Amino acid sequence: MPKRALITGITGQDGAYLAEFLLGKGYEVHGIKRRASMFNTARIDHLYQDPHEKQRNFFLHHGDMTDACSLIRIVQAVQPDEIYNLAAQSHVGVSFEEPEYTANADGLGTLRLLEAMRILKMEDRTRFYQASTSELYGLVREVPQRESTPFYPRSPYAVAKLYAYWICVNYREAYGMYACNGILFNHESPRRGETFVTRKITRALARIALGLEKCLYLGNLSALRDWGHARDYVEMQWLMLQQQQASDFVIATGMQYSVRDFINIAARELGILLQWEGEGLTETATVLMSPAYERVRPGQVIVRVDPRYFRPTEVETLLGDPTKARDKLGWTPRTTFEELVREMIASDLKEAQRDALVEENGYEVYAYKE
C-alpha cells in the first residue's frame, strides 16, 4: 500500500512543490482546496487526474481551515499517514488588515486539524507537520536565529502562527502525537504569490524591460531576509516526518540579503545596471544602462518608495542557523541565491513576453496565430 498524505494549502506555492515531491516518492496525495469564484488550482493543474480514471494517486477535496466539519470529514475519509498543514493567510502585510480572519485560519485552523486527529483516534498513527515561520522571531533577540531563540512576533500573522506553533508542541507533549514544527525562513520560486516582495520585483522588472510597465513601487528596501528556494524546503518538510522522534527544526540558508540587493541582482540578470539615490521616502533606482532592452532608457527611474507598503510593525532582519537540520537530517539547501533570482527572472520574462505579444497583436490575432 502506498503511503497516504493529506496537504492543506495544496494550491499554494509550497503545496504544489510538496505534492510533486510526494508523488515522486510514490505517495497517494490528497489535498484540500477551498471554494473560490474562479479556478484557484493553476499551480497544480499539471498534477490533475480525471476523476473517471481508475488508477489515481492525486485527489482534491473541498474544505476550509475555518470549518471544522469539513476538516473532520476529510481526515476521516482520507485516513492519512501524514498531514502537512500548509494552509494559511500567509501575507504578513494583509494580516494587519484582516487580523481576525488570519487568527482563525492560521491559529485556530491548526487546532481544528489536530483535534480532528484526536476525535478520529488517529493521534497514534498519523504524523503532523506544521508550517511554522521565521516571523515568530520578529524583533530578533539573537543572531543568527536557531530553534532555542526566543520568539517576539511582530504582526497578527506571526501571533497567529505563534499559537499554531505552541498548540503543535502541546499536543505532542500532552497526547504523544508525532507533531513537528518546521520553522522555515523565507523561500521563493517562480510559483511565489505575486504580492510577496521577491516575485513582485522579478515580475515588475521583467515587465518594465519589455515596456509593459514603467516603475516598481515598494516599501522597506532595507529589510534583510534569508531567502531560499521552495523546492529545496519542501523536501525538509517530508524529512521531518520520517524521523524516530518528532522535533522542531529551523530551515534556512544562513545567508542574508536586503530587498535592495534582491533588486540589484534581479536587474543585473536582465543586463540592467542601476544607480541608487536619495534615502527613506525619496530613495530611487535609476537606470544607468540597459543594452538588451531598448524600451528601458538610461536615466529612467524604475524603483520608487511608496509608504502604503510599510507595515505598522516591521521585521527588519532575519537570518537563520540551519545547523540542527544539517546535523540531524543531513540537509543543506541546493539552490544559491543567484540561481533562485535567475530562475524567477527567467520565468517572469517568459510571462511578460507572452503578455507583450498579446498587447502588440491583440488577443484574437494571438489566438489565431496559435
Residue ranges in 162-191 that form contacts with ligand GDR under rule CB under 6 A: 185-186
- For residue 133, state whether it binds ligand NDP (rule: CB under 6 A): yes
Candidate list 64, 82, 106, 135; residue touching ligand GDR; CB under 6 A: 135
Q: Which residue in this structure is represented by grid cell 520560486?
A: 189
**Is 267 near ligand GDR (CB under 6 A)?**
no
Query: At closest approach, how far in Å is the CB of 221 from ligand NDP?
Result: 19
Reduced to 3 states (helix: H, G, I; strand: E, B; else coil), residue 49 is coil
The rounded Cα 190 to chain-centroid distance in angstroms is 11
**Neighbour count for residue 32 (Cβ, 10 Å):** 27
Contact partner at residue 220 from ligand NDP, ligand GDR, none, CB < 5 to 8 Å by partner kind: ligand GDR
Grouping H, G, I as helix, E, B as strand and the rest as coil, residue 248 is: coil
**Cα–Cα distance between 25 and 5 in angstroms, integer?**
11
Give the range of 39-47, 220-228, 265-273, 354-362 binding ligand GDR by CB under 6 A.
220-228
Which residue number, 133 or 181, has a Cβ lying nearer to ligand GDR?
133
The yes-or-no answer on residue 284 being catalytic is no
Which of ligand NDP, ligand GDR, none interacts with 309 (beta carbon under 5 to 8 A by kind)?
ligand GDR
The three cell numbers locating residue 176: 504523544
Note whether 168 and 183 are within 8 A (CB): no
Q: Considering 135, 188, 269, 343, which one is annotated as catalytic?
A: 135
Which residues partner with 107 through β-bridges?
none
Q: At its nearest, how many Å lie between ligand NDP and the CB of residue 12? A: 2
Residue nearest ligand NDP, Cβ-based: 12
Residue for grid cell 507537520: 129
99, 211, 219, 254: which one binds ligand GDR (CB under 6 A)? 219
For 124, phi then psi, to 5°, come to -90, -25
Residue 102: CB minimum distance to ligand GDR, A? 10
Phi-psi bin for 190: left (phi > 0), alpha (psi -120 to 50), beta?
Answer: alpha
